[in-house]
Chain A
Amino acid sequence: MKTLEEILKFCEDVAFDLNFTHAKKWKEAKEGRVIVGYMPIYFPREIIHAAGGMAVGIFGGGDRKQIIKGDAYYQSYICHIPRSIMELVLDKHTDHFDGYIFPSICDVIRNLSGIFKQQKIGKFVKYMDFPQNFLPQIGGVFYQQEMEHVLKYIKEINGVEVTTEKLNHSIELYNKNRKMIEFIYNIRQEFPWRLSIVDVYHIIRAGTVITIEEHNAILETVCELIKQDIGAPQDKVKVIISGAFCEQPSVGLIKAVEEAGCYVVDDDYMLGSRMILGDINSKSENPLEAISNSYIKQSQFSSSIYDVHDPKEFRLAKIVKDRGADGVIFAAASFCDPSLLDAPIFQNAFNKLGIRYIAFQFSENINQYKVIKEQVGAFSDSIKLWEDEPIVAIS
């Protein structure tokens, strides 16, 4: 696997393989391997790796899975992702998974964990309650207990006892992973034409369904390739996408935004893979504490993290400024409470800060986006028209 085209093809194929065949083969290759499916947004995959397992992201069926059974579980006014997850599971796409993790992001995901429990899906179902208390001695300790709980489940399956060394090694691998992903975003900030946002998306999403070692190898090659002056710049404005951190828009929609005249220089599509900012201490005597501290002190802002001590609107405004973006596109999954409830907070602040934005809603299974494309196109045109105006008025 050498050329960028080959890499991108591989990433797209594995990222959207609804049978998670790559992970299945990996598991079958050696006794004692476990697969743990996790839902958005974030989960500390390091701990699964250290326990001889593979954490596999489950981001719904997108526009590639017809929903029949899932609709019987969810009313029309609930977002789409839980029904497509149910469909995948009931259609046995995840039969080789040992357990499932439901990070605490919203009531829908939380209650979905209960449906899994009730239906006895998998060997274990863990709703992972991330702390909303950010003191290491309180929330941090609780978070470590949550991680220990997950490790206990895995040990019951494969008998693996995680050690400090193993955990620190896993942390190192994920630190490297995050660093390279950030490198890609940093390059794209200046040269967004070198790699389209869809390509970035495929590459990062692939990382949620293959091993960290394989993903790091891919990232290394990609990082090398995009150091070169490839592609040609186009007359597009730079935008940030915010609010699509759980249910994912279809690839066509991700593409449509760039086709409509915007370079997406940052986004939260695959927020979990980028949640921790900077490295996690990989030399600690207590690696679970290190992971916990990183979540408490170095997390990206998120709609599922209580934020009043560090308001998210200013954090997003800072990203806009740092990335030299011209505006923000708020893209929320329809009926997504966390995203939609945050919208007025962002928008009221951005009105005051003079940051341009538009907002639309999507559903993972919608592949008609003419209206959205027009809206984005008009947004890009309006920015070009006013390009001399200062936009971000924050320090």
Chain B
Amino acid sequence: MAQEAQKERSMILQKEMIEGLFNDLGKAKETGKKVCYTFVPGNLSELIRTFDMLPVYPEINALQSAMRKKSASYIKEAERHAHSEDVCTYVKCDVGMMMKGNIGPTGEKIPEPDILLLSYTGCFTFLKWFETLKREYPNAKVIMVHTPYQENAKITPEMTQYMVKQFKEEVIPQMEAVTGIKYDEEKLKKILALSKEAEDWITKIFDTTKHRPSPIDAYFAGVYYIGPINIGFRGTQQAVDYYKELYKEIQERIRLGLGPITPEGEMKEEKYRLVVEGPPNWTSFREFWKIFYDMGAVIVASSYTKVGGVYDMGWRHDPSRPLESLSEYCMNCYTNLNIPQRIDLLSKCITDYAADGYVTNSIKSCNSFSAGQLGMMREIEDRLEVPVGFIESDLVDPRYFSYSNIKNRLESYFQMLEQRKIIHESEKV
């Protein structure tokens, strides 16, 4: 990306972190470190780190494969083995990659899991995914953490107790058994303190979109920003340093009155400020982004950057309540919120960040996000009288990304925004 070309220090830091993780994974056999496959929503990075394990995130591998144009062949491979055309393409991409030798995005073979940590938060597919992987890795230990859904828009003490009991009686003893390492709560507390710090920084970062022009794009660039906090570095000094550095760079952009960096350099004019719901498309990520920045549209907030944790409502990991806080973290991830909560959160984003519009990118194969999106859209439209846009694509299956279709729809949407602006301005006069 052009951001890489500009080599901001934060990008270098992030690159080093990720390369370091993949190097460690490559050497896991020699170093004897245990490998824990897990998912981003409700990821228990701090606990994994307490037991000195190395995390592998199958969704991240899938999206990286898509960005490197490898997902199509992986998906085909899975479909050759009875996987349906209509299910989550992350699963098929991951299964296909495994069938083709499990060569990860960096070209190195990803080690087999010692643990499949199924902290299934906000999506049933996770459960099916690991049921599938367990059949492929019969020696791996599956550890299930059931995260209760916030069905009533709150976390009750019973829900937290249920999770804490799972940690105490199931998760921790099983991690101890696999790693041979005794659970050290003091160590976990120290890690959690660093998590909290990183969470403070990332909240501040996403809050900078209040500025005009917004110094960052909270969706297309946002997906890079959430990388470290979501893929195992939450709870490390490295992550804190990364976010501090990133914040500093953004402050400088604000000082200079600059808009977001795009793959083609600085966005010159901020015409529209949008909130986006739904994950991005990864197979044509750049083309997708380009449609927006070419039109002068910047995303000031997105639900996708909250899949690995919702921090902007003030929630933080709390070292003084380690296991309770891990439980609350899992229950607080975006897709574990009920539909009215999601609507409220997105409405708040639209209002707080003074967005001109709301766009849904509906992902064909992700029911966790997509089922209910149309109802949410209608409610947001009624409540805030904000113009809503709707496009459809897929995560990692290139067959379901129709550039012209999406472009046409967005162009009409931007025309609508433009007209509305004109009307608003004439009303002001």
Give residues in A with beta carbon < 8 Å to B. 72-75, 77-78, 82, 104-108, 110-115, 117-119, 126-127, 129, 131-133, 135, 137-139, 141-142, 145, 303-304, 306-308, 311, 332, 334-335, 337-338, 340-345, 347-349
Contact = CB atoms under 8 A, between A and B. Distances in A.
Given A127-B338, A133-B144, 15 more contacts: A73-B375, A77-B370, A110-B151, A115-B375, A127-B151, A129-B151, A131-B146, A131-B162, A135-B169, A138-B170, A142-B158, A142-B162, A337-B87, A337-B367, A338-B124
A126 B151 contact: yes
Contacts of A114: 338-340, 342, 372
B91 A341 contact: yes
B132 A341 contact: yes
B98 to A, nearest CB: 13
Nearest to A341: B128
Residue of B149, B343, B374 most packed against chain A (CB within 10 A): B149
Contacts of A111: 339, 367-368, 371-372
A342 B128 contact: yes
* Shortest beta-carbon contacts, A-B, top 10: A114-B339, A127-B151, A341-B128, A111-B372, A132-B146, A340-B84, A344-B82, A107-B367, A111-B371, A142-B162
B306 interface: no
A129 B148 contact: yes
Contact of A113 (B142, B158, B338): B338
A133 B170 contact: yes
A54 B154 CA distance: 28
Contact of B162 (A138, A308, A343): A138
B395 interface: no
B84 A110 contact: no
A238 B43 CA distance: 46
A347 to B, nearest CB: 5
Contacts of B129: 341
B369 to A, nearest CB: 8
A332 B374 CA distance: 25
Where chain B touches its partner, the secondary structure class is helix
Interface string B133-152: 01100000010101011010
B381 interface: no
Nearest to B165: A138
B368 A107 contact: yes
Nearest to B81: A344
Interface string B52-81: 000000000000000000000000001001
Given A111-B372, A115-B375, A104 B149 contact: yes
B120 interface: yes
B123 interface: yes
Contact of A107 (B124, B130, B142, B144): B124
Nearest to B120: A132
Contacts of B78: 344
Contacts of B131: 306-308, 341-342, 345
Contacts of A74: 371, 374
Contacts of A307: 131
Contact of A78 (B84, B158, B162, B370): B370
18 contacts: A73-B374, A78-B370, A107-B124, A111-B371, A113-B151, A115-B339, A117-B339, A137-B169, A138-B162, A138-B170, A139-B162, A304-B124, A337-B125, A337-B367, A338-B124, A341-B84, A345-B135, A348-B81
A107 B123 contact: yes
Interface in B314-350: 338-340, 342-343
Contacts of A142: 148, 158, 162
B297 interface: no
Given A132-B127, A132-B146, A306-B144, A343 B158 contact: no
B208 interface: no
Given A341-B132, A345-B135, A348-B82, A112 B371 contact: yes
A82 B374 CA distance: 13
A335 B123 CA distance: 15
Residue of B91, B124, B131, B134 most packed against chain A (CB within 10 A): B124
Nearest to B118: A306
B305 to A, nearest CB: 20
B343 A118 contact: yes
B234 interface: no
Interface string B92-128: 0000000000000000000000000010100111011
Interface string B340-378: 101100000000000000000010110110111111001
A127 B149 contact: yes
A338 B86 CA distance: 11
A113 B341 CA distance: 12
A345 B132 contact: yes
A135 B339 contact: no
